[in-house]
């Protein structure tokens, strides 16, 4: 834009976007014109308002730049085809909104919905097959009455609320320079890549994104040899191509590596302003999906595609940054006297303590349920990890004693950031050590200069978790500001003692949320119960947190969600949960009925035939008889379980929303697990050549 627009127009555009003002019509027209010329030069024929309905993915409707213009020439009407794209078209368009989830916000006859350009997030051109190219315009999606129907509107609202709250705190501390604080976000994205041809043979993977049956192979991740191992060349080719495409649309992908499970990988970008980071995370998933296709691979974003090996997550690295580029969560070398940091830190702890249930609701889904609480992912109890050093700082302030010395002066080396380690190898330079070690078991861990929200599902949009986090932290920042104002009395700025008293007060009130130990252990479950922390195991229970009075009040009073938007989201989440599970149930039932049992029967017949012919030959087919008997037992067990599953599905399909969600979580998952157990037992007995589906060994190695 800086090269395509006249300088004053460009400056006006920047000023309006940075100052979070509405674009004036003239500027919008100029930007639209420049964008069209730029896009057409690069081969684009269409534009699309790209938006994020509450489906976890994105949506788009393409419009060409074509316009017909009529003119009277010598008394004759002549029609010309021209390319046009006005500011009005750039700013807003109107897709039919009737078929997106709306949770009762509108009925289908009120189909109007609007997509409106979010000028903070850059437009980009995406190329498709046969030279097609489309101009993408990142947008919000709202209803006829202005209600948010998407993930982005509420994210923008929450970031603004957070900015105001953070600026207010900085004002209280005497900072009159900072005008805005942005939410920063960097999403580490985990996924599996498997062979596409094999994938196509697994209806469960195709329909539900995960294997509903299947025996884990004898060797999977026990040897811990996949994590950070050499990236297989076929995979590297695919990821590298995806990275190239992503770079072309402005997504700053930075890291890539093998993850813990076989065929599991991760990519992460450089962090950005949250709304852009969300756009870019969704784009990353889409591009990986498309590029994998070209490499005859299939990317799986499901949180738990395979039983018995690790699932995937999305680590949402979150922080706040002032308009002069200061990270508010940078502890510096001496956090104990970095008051701004300490106040922000205790505000976050307060937020997580008071609204842990709310945070839990934002990551609840049928698929993420396989990770949360399972022995590999952050538990369903939301706690925060700080590391030894920061915990000590808060404890010392609380106890009014000096902070223990974390430096190691005997090493006589320069301290860079944290402390230094002595490797006892003379040729190695001293190693700078971070203030905190890592804790892979914490759902919400401080990792050096940001919090890492690790419980977010790999498949979901990171937007909603960030919205709720922003909301909770904004409130707590306001409370911290209030406490500071009270403590400082008539002074212009609070004294050191005022600040420490506030830090102390908040630490005491919320320290129950801090947990430094192993979050996967049973001891923690007991300990958390003693501390009174909620352990919300099921999705329906988690979704109810959205409607709990204190959470509802938080979101509505801040203007992040209206009452009807909130209720509609609750219904959408619950409905989706039940639908997801019913789809799984029906898929499983049909695989068992149409593939697994018939295969087992074919094998049984072969055994029976063999027994008969051996009998004719005068031989007693002892081993075959033994296997046939056991096979018969296994088949009966599976048939019984499958019948029960079928009956249960019929029953659940007849229930109403809340009862349906409840029954899906409590009964359907159990019935499916039972069918799986029986099917897996059968898989172990049926001859390989009869088994109808590719097995884990084929899929994962």
Contacts to ligand ADP by CB under 6 A: 184-186, 188, 255, 268-271, 317-319, 327, 447, 449-450, 452
Output the smallest distance, CB 266 to ligand ADP, in A: 7
DSSP letter (8 states) at residue 58: -
Nearest to ligand ADP of 447, 501 (CB atom): 447
Place of tokens 């409590």: 666
Output the smallest distance, CB 314 to ligand ADP, in A: 11
Nearest to Mg ion of 298, 315 (CB atom): 315
Which residue stretches of 363-433 are H helix? 388-399
The entry of ligand ADP, Mg ion, none that residue 341 binds, CB within 5 to 8 Å by partner kind: none
User: CA-based angle 657:369:530, to the nearest 5?
Assistant: 100
Output the smallest distance, CB 269 to ligand ADP, in A: 5
Nearest to Mg ion of 249, 456 (CB atom): 456
The residue number with the shortest CB distance to Mg ion is 315
Output the smallest distance, CB 480 to Mg ion, in A: 27
**Cα 319 vs. chain centroid, distance in angstroms?**
16
CA-nearest of 112, 68, 76 to 94 is 112
The helix-helix angle for 7-18 and 25-41 (nearest 10°) equals 110
Nearest to ligand ADP of 204, 452 (CB atom): 452
CA-nearest of 407, 403, 404 to 421 is 407
Output the smallest distance, CB 411 to Mg ion, in A: 28
Mind giving me the DSSP string for 323-373?
TTS-BTT---S-GGG-HHHHHHHHHHHHHHHHHHHHHHHHT--TTGGGTTT
Nearest to ligand ADP of 270, 493 (CB atom): 270
Output the smallest distance, CB 460 to Mg ion, in A: 17
SS3 content of the chain, % helix, strand, coil (to 5): 50, 15, 35
Q: Which residues bind Mg ion (CB under 5 A)?
A: 315
Q: What are phi and psi of 461, to 5 degrees?
A: -70, 140
Nearest to ligand ADP of 122, 692 (CB atom): 122
Output the smallest distance, CB 18 to ligand ADP, in A: 19
Output the smallest distance, CB 360 to ligand ADP, in A: 21
Q: Rounded to an integer, what distance in angstroms lies between the CA atom of residue 39 and that of residue 62?
A: 14
The residue number with the shortest CB distance to ligand ADP is 186
Output the smallest distance, CB 699 to Mg ion, in A: 26
Q: Rounded to an integer, what distance in angstroms lies between the CA atom of residue 1 and that of residue 14?
A: 10
Nearest to ligand ADP of 12, 450 (CB atom): 450
Tell whether the torsion through CA atoms of 349, 353, 355 and 356 is positive or negative. positive
The entry of Mg ion, ligand ADP, none that residue 255 binds, CB within 5 to 8 Å by partner kind: ligand ADP
Output the smallest distance, CB 700 to ligand ADP, in A: 23
Nearest to ligand ADP of 102, 442 (CB atom): 442
The entry of ligand ADP, Mg ion, none that residue 449 binds, CB within 5 to 8 Å by partner kind: ligand ADP
Nearest to ligand ADP of 153, 447 (CB atom): 447
Pairing mode, if any, of strands 46-50 and 62-64?
Answer: antiparallel
CA-nearest of 86, 251, 54 to 153 is 54
Ramachandran quadrant class, 308 (left: phi over 0; alpha: psi -120 to 50; beta: rest): left
Output the smallest distance, CB 470 to ligand ADP, in A: 13
Nearest to Mg ion of 302, 315 (CB atom): 315
The entry of Mg ion, ligand ADP, none that residue 283 binds, CB within 5 to 8 Å by partner kind: none
Taking CA atoms, 49 is separated from 92, 95, 124, 538, in Å, by 8, 9, 11, 36
Question: What is the CB neighbour count within 10 angstroms for residue 671?
Answer: 21
Buried b (16+ CB within 10 A) or exposed e, 40-49: beeebbbbbb
Nearest to Mg ion of 319, 481 (CB atom): 319
Q: Rounded to an integer, what distance in angstroms lies between the CA atom of residue 73 and that of residue 266?
A: 62
């Amino acid at each position: 834009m800086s090269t395509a627009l006249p300088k004053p127009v460009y400056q006006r555009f920047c000023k309006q976007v940075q100052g979070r003002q509405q674009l004036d019509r003239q500027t919008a027209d100029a930007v639209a014109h420049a964008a069209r010329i730029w896009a057409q030069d690069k081969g684009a024929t269409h534009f699309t308002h790209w938006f994020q309905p509450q489906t976890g993915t994105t949506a788009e409707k393409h419009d060409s730049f074509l316009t017909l213009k009529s003119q009277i020439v010598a008394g004759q009407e002549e029609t010309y085809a021209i390319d046009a794209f006005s500011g009005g078209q750039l700013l807003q368009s109107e897709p039919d909104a009737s078929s997106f989830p709306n949770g009762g916000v509108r009925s289908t006859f009120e189909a109007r919905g609007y997509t409106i350009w979010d000028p903070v997030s850059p437009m980009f051109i995406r190329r498709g097959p046969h030279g097609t190219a489309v101009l993408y315009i990142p947008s919000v999606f709202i209803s006829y009455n202005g209600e948010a129907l998407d993930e982005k509107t509420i994210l923008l609202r929450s970031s603004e609320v957070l900015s105001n709250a953070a600026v207010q705190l900085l004002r209280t501390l005497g900072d009159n320079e900072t005008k805005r604080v942005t939410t920063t976000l960097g999403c580490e994205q985990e996924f599996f890549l498997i062979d596409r041809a094999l994938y196509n043979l697994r209806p469960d993977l195709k329909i539900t994104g995960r294997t509903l049956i299947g025996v884990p192979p004898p060797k999977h991740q026990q040897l811990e040899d996949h994590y950070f191992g050499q990236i297989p060349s076929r995979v590297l080719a695919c990821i590298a191509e995806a990275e190239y495409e992503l770079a072309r649309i402005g997504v700053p992908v930075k890291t890539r590596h093998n993850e813990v499970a076989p065929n599991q990988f991760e990519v992460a970008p450089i962090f950005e302003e949250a709304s852009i980071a969300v756009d870019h995370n969704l784009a990353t998933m889409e591009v990986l999906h498309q590029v994998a296709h070209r490499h005859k691979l299939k990317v799986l974003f499901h949180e738990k595609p395979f039983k018995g090996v690790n699932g995937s997550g999305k680590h949402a690295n979150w922080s706040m940054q002032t308009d002069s580029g200061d990270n508010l969560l940078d502890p510096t070398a001496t956090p104990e006297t970095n008051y701004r940091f300490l106040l922000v830190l205790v505000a976050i702890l307060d937020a997580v303590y008071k609204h842990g249930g709310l945070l839990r609701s934002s990551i609840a889904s049928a698929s993420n349920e396989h990770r949360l609480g399972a022995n590999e992912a952050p538990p369903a109890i939301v706690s925060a990890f700080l590391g030894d050093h920061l915990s000590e700082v808060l404890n010392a302030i609380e106890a009014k004693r000096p902070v223990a010395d974390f430096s190691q002066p005997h090493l006589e080396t320069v301290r860079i950031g944290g402390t230094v380690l002595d490797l006892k190898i003379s040729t190695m330079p001293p190693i700078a050590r971070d203030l905190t070690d890592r804790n892979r078991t914490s759902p919400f861990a401080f990792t050096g200069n940001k919090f890492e929200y690790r419980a977010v599902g790999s498949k979901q949009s990171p937007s909603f978790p960030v919205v709720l986090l922003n909301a909770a932290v904004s409130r707590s920042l306001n409370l911290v500001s209030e406490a500071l104002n009270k403590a400082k009395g008539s002074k212009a700025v609070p004294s050191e003692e005022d600040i420490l008293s506030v830090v102390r007060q908040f630490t005491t009130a919320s320290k129950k949320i801090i947990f430094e130990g192993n979050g996967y252990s049973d001891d923690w479950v007991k300990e958390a119960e003693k501390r009174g922390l909620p352990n919300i195991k099921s999705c329906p229970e988690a979704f109810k947190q959205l409607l709990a009075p204190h959470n509802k009040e938080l979101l509505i009073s801040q203007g992040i969600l209206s009452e009807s938007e909130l209720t509609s989201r609750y219904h959408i989440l619950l409905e989706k949960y039940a639908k997801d599970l019913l789809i799984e149930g029906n898929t499983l039932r049909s695989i068992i009925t149409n593939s697994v049992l018939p295969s087992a029967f074919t094998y049984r017949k072969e055994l029976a035939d063999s027994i008969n012919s051996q009998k004719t030959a005068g031989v007693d087919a002892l081993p075959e008889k033994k296997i046939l008997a056991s096979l018969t037992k296994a088949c009966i067990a599976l048939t019984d379980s499958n019948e029960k599953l079928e009956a249960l599905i019929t029953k659940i399909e007849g229930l109403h929303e809340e009862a349906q969600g409840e029954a899906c979580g409590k009964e359907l998952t159990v019935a499916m697990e039972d069918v799986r157990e029986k099917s897996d037992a059968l898989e172990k007995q049926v001859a390989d050549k009869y088994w109808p589906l590719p097995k884990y060994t084929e899929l994962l190695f």
